[in-house]
Chains A and B, each alone.
Chain A
Amino acid sequence: MKAAARIDIDRKYCKGCMLCQYVCQFEVFEPGQERSLLDYLMPRPAKLENCRVCGLCETHCPDMALTVIAEEKGEKKQ
């Protein structure tokens, strides 16, 4: 099973629409407290261990701010 090493959300472009949280089947995201440079509250990948790298959040991000980086094969999570 694939796992995500990290999920990057670009502070310059995120508008806090939370569609990533809405389309995610594994409840990875939750509303965060940090504000983006456009002054919107950004989502936070709180449960990263649930992520299966399906890429739905990436294809649904309307501002192309989100990137899911998959864990390399053989690399163990700390």
Chain B
Amino acid sequence: MNPLGEKYLRKDFLPFVFCPGCGDGMIVQAFLQAVDDLGIRDDLALTAGIGCSSWIAVYIHADVLKVLHGRAIPAAIGLKATNPSRKVVTFTGDGDCLAIGGNHLLHAARRNIDMTVVVVNNQLYAMTGGQVAPSTKVGSKTQTTPYGNIEKPLDGCKVAIAAGATMVSRWSTAQPRQLIRAFKKALNHKGFAFIEVMSQCPVQTGRYMLGSGSPQFNFQWLKDNCVIIDDPSKSGEVEAQGKIPLGDFLQVEKPEFMEEVQRMNQRVKEAQAKGGDR
């Protein structure tokens, strides 16, 4: 086994529940590499919702909270509020984060809470059998859209930017080194970091949407259909060609929620010391 796995995984839970060729295992490895490089294992607190990608957190030997469908981000906010020194990371899928947990994503991004959200996007609900998700492309055939999907997809990165996230990146499992770099940036970033990872799903996306269940075919599809851009303003051109733009889209500094809470507590104490209610 990989030395990172020896060091950081729960051995009695292995082997991974993921199907052969699934990208989730690569994300586990990239995340562990980032954690190993930064040496922050003892501060980690992970939360996960429901879905294939939410199993990523379960295998990592750290504090893990696996919660209701879509409610991974509120659980993470709770962990952060009780102990702001924690490095809170949430692993969710595209259905978990953008559909049922969409509202939580908006409001966590708006408050700029110091946490990292990793959204693994395989373009459909894979665990339940390949139903249409908010990230499914127009015209794709899934189990619930056998004549092609007519709904326009939701771009998680654009939603996060609009809602006020302070670090937004999108990478795919075909670029593990860039992904490790993005994880490191996000873990060091003070504020809401949103990382979308395009991942291959040979069994559901591959077999029903792309036409082949071979892991190699799905991996090559990712390489062919994802374009790395340096300038976020070029993403429109890439999307017009029907491809997926990858890159670090945004990184800015803004006041962080938990620090603001502490400042407010200080103001309350000062006001109370003066004897007034306000």
Interface residues of A (CB under 8 A from B): 10, 12-13, 15-19, 22-23, 38, 40, 58-67
Taken together as a complex, chains A and B put the C-alpha atoms of A12 and B177 apart, in Å, by: 26
User: Inside 8 A of A17's CB, which chain B residues have their CB?
Assistant: 20-21, 202, 215
Q: B14, A22: Cβ atoms under 8 Å? A: no
CB proximity of A35 to chain B, nearest CB, Å: 13
> B5, B19, B23, B176: which contacts A64 (Cβ < 8 A)?
B5
Is A59 a contact of B15 with CB atoms below 8 Å?
A: no
Which of B25-33, B35-43, B77-85, B146-154 interfaces with chain A?
A: B25-33
Q: Which B residues have a C-beta under 8 Å from some C-beta of A?
A: 1-5, 9, 14-16, 18-26, 28-30, 33, 176-177, 202, 215-216, 219-220
6 closest cross-chain pairs (CB), A and B: A62-B25, A17-B21, A15-B20, A64-B2, A64-B5, A17-B20
Chain A residues near B9: list those with CB within 8 A.
Answer: 64
| Distance A67 CA – B7 CA, assembled complex (angstroms) | 14
User: In the complex, what residues of A have CB within 8 A of residue B22's CB?
Assistant: 62
Which of B2, B25, B176, B215 touches A67 (beta carbons < 8 Å)? B2
Asked if A61 contacts B14 (CB within 8 A), the reply is: no
A59 touches B177 (CB 8 A): yes
Contact of A38 among B15, B24, B26, B176 (CB under 8 A): B15
Which residue from A16, A23, A64 sits with its C-beta under 8 Å from B1?
A64
Known contacts A23-B219, A38-B15, A62-B21; 20 further A-B pairs (Cβ under 8 A): A13-B14, A13-B16, A15-B20, A17-B20, A17-B21, A17-B202, A18-B216, A19-B215, A19-B216, A22-B215, A59-B26, A59-B29, A61-B26, A62-B16, A62-B20, A62-B25, A62-B26, A64-B29, A65-B2, A66-B2
Given contacts A13-B15, A64-B25, contact A18 B215 (CB under 8 A): yes
Instruction: Flag if B177 contacts A63 (CB, 8 Å).
Output: no
Cα–Cα distance between A13 and B25 once the two chains are bound (Å) = 11
Can you list 25 pairs linking A and B with CB atoms under 8 Å apart?
A10-B1, A12-B14, A15-B19, A16-B20, A17-B20, A17-B215, A18-B216, A19-B215, A22-B215, A59-B26, A59-B29, A60-B176, A61-B2, A61-B25, A61-B26, A62-B20, A62-B23, A62-B25, A63-B15, A64-B2, A64-B4, A64-B16, A64-B25, A65-B2, A67-B2
B183 to chain A, nearest CB (A): 13
* Interchain nearest-CB distance for B86 vs A (Å): 25
Contacts of B215 in A (CB 8 A): 17-19, 22
Do the beta carbons of A67 and B3 come within 8 Å of each other? yes
Distance in Å: Cβ of B177 to nearest Cβ of chain A: 7
Assess the B5–A62 pair: CB atoms within 8 A.
no
A73 to B9, CA, bound (A): 31
